[in-house]
Amino acid sequence: MIPESYYTGLSAILFTIGVVGVLVRRNPLVIFMSIELMLNAANLALVAFGQRFGSPDGQVLVFFVMTVAAAEVAVGLAIIIAIFRLRQRLSVDDLSSMRW
Amino acid sequence: MRQATFFVIALVAVISALGLVLRRNPIHGALFLVVNLGCVAVFYLILGAEFLALAQVIIYAGAIMVLFVFAIMVLIPGRDETGPDPLRPWRLLAIPLGAVLLAEIGLILISSVVRRGGSPATAPASIVPVGSAESLGRLLFTDYLFPFEVTSVLLLAALVGVLALAKRRSP
């Protein structure tokens, strides 16, 4: 039996890699994929904790997170494509028109 | 045996996550992310969450990643992220920040383990098949019925919103 601290440790590492990816990359598509990575890390921790306490509630939460992630990706990619049509470039550094 | 499997798959997961962040080509990043999602699905299987493992493969690796690859193909973003980066010193700051974040999470985890005394609070109830589609579906349609219905509204809203966003406006 694998202790759940292994899973939480792995989840922390994956989450940190996702955060660094969001901060480092300039391509909004890669930033989106890094966000997916972070969501997956959180899901892994949820399932590990749920299994630890022997309740399926954590898995139901993961189910909802997956659904929301699917909706989020669809809307986000539509926004990115709309921006690309408008500007013909794709870099988060160009998108500063809403900056205060 | 189980631990060896865990460590091998964990290594693959971390390497594929690093590949997603470090590779310049977004297509390579997407393929690395598919590998990573597969690794997480295997972890779900090890944890006894069979339904979630299948849902992970179908929803994430099947639907979401196809959408990503499709968007990458449509946008052909091979030519950005190649020029000089005016904000490079600020971006390199992200690596120590990530190290600090990892140290913080590790500290919290270790301190919680120490405070609990390292002993499990309850007996690990791995005998009960909590990951089966039956128990999950029963819970989803009794205790979590309202969030489940709200999810359908959310998906409908996303559908309409995407159609409105992606429609080509006729001049």
Quick one: pLDDT at residue A3?
Answer: 82
Q: How far is CA B139 from CA A60, A77, B30, B136, in A?
A: 8, 32, 34, 5
Quick one: pLDDT at residue A37?
Answer: 94
Quick one: pLDDT at residue B170?
Answer: 62
Ramachandran area for residue B64 (φ above 0: left; ψ -120 to 50: alpha; else beta):
alpha
B57-81 pLDDT per residue, tens? 999 888 899 999 988 888 765 555 5
Quick one: pLDDT at residue B8?
Answer: 94
Quick one: pLDDT at residue A5?
Answer: 84
A29-41 pLDDT per residue, tens? 899 999 999 999 9
A76 touching B (Cβ < 8 Å): no
Angle at B91 between CA B86 and CA B95, to 5 degrees: 160
Note whether residue B120 is domain-resident: no
Residue B119 has pLDDT above 70, yes or no: no
**Which residue of A lies nearest to B121 if distances are taken between CA atoms?**
A53
Range of the domain at A65: 4-91
Q: What is the DSSP letter of B80?
A: T
Length of chain A equals 100
- Interface with B, mutate which of A6, A11, A31, A40 (most B CBs under 10 A): A40
Is A29 within 8 Å of B71 when comparing Cβ atoms? Answer: yes
**Which residue of B lies nearest to A67 if distances are taken between CA atoms?**
B151
Number of domain units in chain B: 2
- Residue B4: which CATH number? 1.20.120.1200
Is A51 within 8 Å of B47 when comparing Cβ atoms? Answer: yes
Q: Which residues of A touch B120 (CB under 8 A)?
A: 52
**How high does pLDDT run on average in chain A?**
87
The confidence band for B49, taking pLDDT boundaries of 50, 70 and 90, is confident
Both B71 and B7 in one domain: the answer is yes
Note whether residue B14 is domain-resident: yes
Is A77 within 8 Å of B128 when comparing Cβ atoms? Answer: no
Q: How far is CA B43 from CA A10, A66, B58, B80, B150, in A?
A: 11, 16, 16, 35, 29
- pTM metric for this prediction: 0.87
Note whether residue A55 is domain-resident: yes
Name the residue with tokens 């899973």: A7
The confidence band for B116, taking pLDDT boundaries of 50, 70 and 90, is low
Quick one: pLDDT at residue A64?
Answer: 93
3-state secondary structure (DSSP) of residue A81: helix
Quick one: pLDDT at residue B88?
Answer: 77
Number of domain units in chain A: 1
Q: Among A1, A47, A59, which Cα is nearest to B126's?
A: A1
Ramachandran area for residue B48 (φ above 0: left; ψ -120 to 50: alpha; else beta):
left
Interface predicted TM-score (ipTM) over 0.95: no
- Residue where a domain stops, chosen among B60, B78, B96: B78
B137 vs chain A: nearest CA distance in angstroms? 9
Quick one: pLDDT at residue B19?
Answer: 93
CA B99 centroid distance within chain: 20
Q: CB contacts < 8 Å between A and B, how many?
A: 213
Note whether residue B122 is domain-resident: no
B89 vs chain A: nearest CA distance in angstroms? 10
> How large a percentage of chain B has pLDDT more than 70?
82
Residue B109 has pLDDT above 90, yes or no: no
Note whether residue A100 is domain-resident: no
Quick one: pLDDT at residue B54?
Answer: 92
Tell me how far apart the alpha carbons of residues A16 and A13 are, in angstroms, rounded to a whole number.
5
Note whether residue B104 is domain-resident: no
B36 touching A (Cβ < 8 Å): yes
A83 vs chain B: nearest CA distance in angstroms? 10
Name the residue with tokens 């006729």: B170
3-state secondary structure (DSSP) of residue A55: coil
- Residue where a domain stops, chosen among B41, B59, B78: B78
A42 touching B (Cβ < 8 Å): no
Residue B10 has pLDDT above 60, yes or no: yes
Quick one: pLDDT at residue B117?
Answer: 56
The confidence band for A54, taking pLDDT boundaries of 50, 70 and 90, is confident
Is A51 within 8 Å of B126 when comparing Cβ atoms? Answer: yes
CA B56 centroid distance within chain: 9
Quick one: pLDDT at residue A57?
Answer: 87
Residue B106 has pLDDT above 60, yes or no: yes
Quick one: pLDDT at residue A66?
Answer: 92
Ramachandran area for residue B126 (φ above 0: left; ψ -120 to 50: alpha; else beta):
alpha
Q: Which residues of B touch A83 (CB under 8 A)?
A: none
Note whether residue A28 is domain-resident: yes
Note whether residue A50 is domain-resident: yes
Tell me how far apart the alpha carbons of residues B58 and A15 are, in angstroms, rounded to a whole number.
22
Residue B168 has pLDDT above 80, yes or no: no
Q: Which residues of B touch A46 (CB under 8 A)?
A: none
Over the Cα atoms of chain A, what is R_g? 17
Name the residue with higher pLDDT: B61 or B10: B10
Q: What is the DSSP letter of B167?
A: S
Note whether residue A30 is domain-resident: yes
What is the DSSP track for B91-145?
HHTHHHHHHHHHHHHHHHHHHHHHHTTTS-SS----SS-TTSHHHHHHHHTTTTH
Range of the domain at B138: 132-171
Quick one: pLDDT at residue A27?
Answer: 85
Is A47 within 8 Å of B44 when comparing Cβ atoms? Answer: yes
The answer to whether residues B56 and A64 touch, using CB atoms and an 8 Å cutoff, is: no
The confidence band for B83, taking pLDDT boundaries of 50, 70 and 90, is low
Q: Using CB atoms, which residue from A5, A14, A75 is nearest to B17?
A: A14
Both B2 and B66 in one domain: the answer is yes
